[in-house]
Chain A
Amino acid sequence: MPLPLITENMYFDTVLKAIETTLKAESVNQIALGGTGWKTVRERFDPWTVDVDELNPGVANIAWSSSNFPDGEGSNFDQTSMSSFDIDIYASQRGLEVGGVITPKDQRAADVLHALITKIYYTIMSPVYYDLGLEPGTIVRPWITNIVKFIPTETNIPIEGVLAARLSCRIKFEEIPPQISGVNLEIINIDANRNDDVDLVEQTFDVS
């Protein structure tokens, strides 16, 4: 279900919501396709191959990071915005012991982390979700620019057993600059009055 075209006051919120909605929709689709486990749709490129069926998903969080407005693009009324959104993923797992062989919790957390990176990467770059649920043309191109692994900290102390990664997603879209408020160039007004039999009894048409 596409979201409505973005409006003047809700650019970032709308795009954030669109990304979130897209990821959620993809999750539901994948679960429906593959039962309870996570499955990854194979596309043209395949940077990681991880069997994720038996693993629990981690946590993904989306936050707007920055916007910049390149010179020479757009006009006084519309402006090109290059915005960056960070998709942070956190994974924490328990270890697994099978027949005396222990798979450590860190290794399993890394498996989940890589699986989620793959999943989000595919989702964002998939042609199906290219518009992120917005009106076609609003989003020019979502693009994963960077992937960094990190260990979250609490009061500057690294948290043991939690692995995290940040996918930086660059999105280019057109918007009205904040110093320009929308101006109505034309108001088109049509009044139509009908009687009880739905016949048209009066019609006025006004262009100002």
Chain B
Amino acid sequence: MSLIQRSEEFLERSLEDPEAFGWTVTLKNPFGESQVVFGQVRHINMLIDIDTGADVQQEQASATVRISTITIGEPQKNWLVAITDTAGNEYDCYVVEAFPDRTLGIIVLKLGLLETP
């Protein structure tokens, strides 16, 4: 087995392990199918200093998951994603852009947060 393949297999430990940094990501495709996977999630607020005394805040989120774990297709722009924070609050998002890395076997999903109805 090549080192690349071993690296992909090791994603189970390095990316998805819930005892490490693996975090729940719920994927939902346009056909209504959903799947819960584990990956790494980033959800931060950036404070932008615009040099005028008024700060502007901007929210960013992304999720990185293992491609081979996903069974309902490959995430694209029209997919929905639900993530949670460490306090247990759930946030609905849509995929702004998907960046697959087919060598490493991961896909980075740049997320846009959705307004809570």
- Residue positions of A touching B, CB distance < 8 A: 59, 61, 63, 88, 90, 92-97, 100, 102, 104-105, 108, 152, 154, 159-162
Contact = CB atoms under 8 A, between A and B. Distances in A.
Interface in B59-113: 59-60, 78, 80, 92-94, 96, 112-113
Most chain A CB within a 10 A radius of its CB, from B53, B78, B80, B96: B96
Interface stretch (B3-11, B33-41, B43-51): B43-51
B19 interface: no
Contact of A92 (B54, B58, B78): B58
A127 B54 CA distance: 29
Contacts of B18: none
Interface residues of B, number: 23
Contacts of B30: 100
Tell me whether chain A's interface is mostly helix, strand or loop, or mixed. mixed
A94 B56 contact: no
23 contacts: A61-B53, A63-B52, A94-B59, A94-B112, A94-B113, A95-B94, A95-B113, A95-B115, A97-B80, A102-B114, A104-B112, A105-B112, A105-B113, A108-B115, A152-B56, A154-B46, A154-B49, A159-B48, A159-B56, A159-B58, A160-B60, A161-B112, A162-B56
A96 B48 contact: no
A162 B92 contact: no
Contacts, number: 65
A159 B94 contact: no
A159 B60 CA distance: 10
Contacts of A88: 50, 52
A149 to B, nearest CB: 15
Contacts of B2: none
Given A63-B52, A90-B50, A159-B46, A97 B59 contact: no
Contacts of A63: 52
A162 B60 CA distance: 11
Given A61-B50, A95-B94, A159-B48, A102 B56 contact: no
Please list the 4 inter-chain residue pairs (A to B) with the smallest Cβ-Cβ separation, ordered nearest first: A61-B54, A94-B115, A95-B112, A90-B56
B53 A96 contact: no
Given A95-B113, A96-B115, A161 B48 contact: no
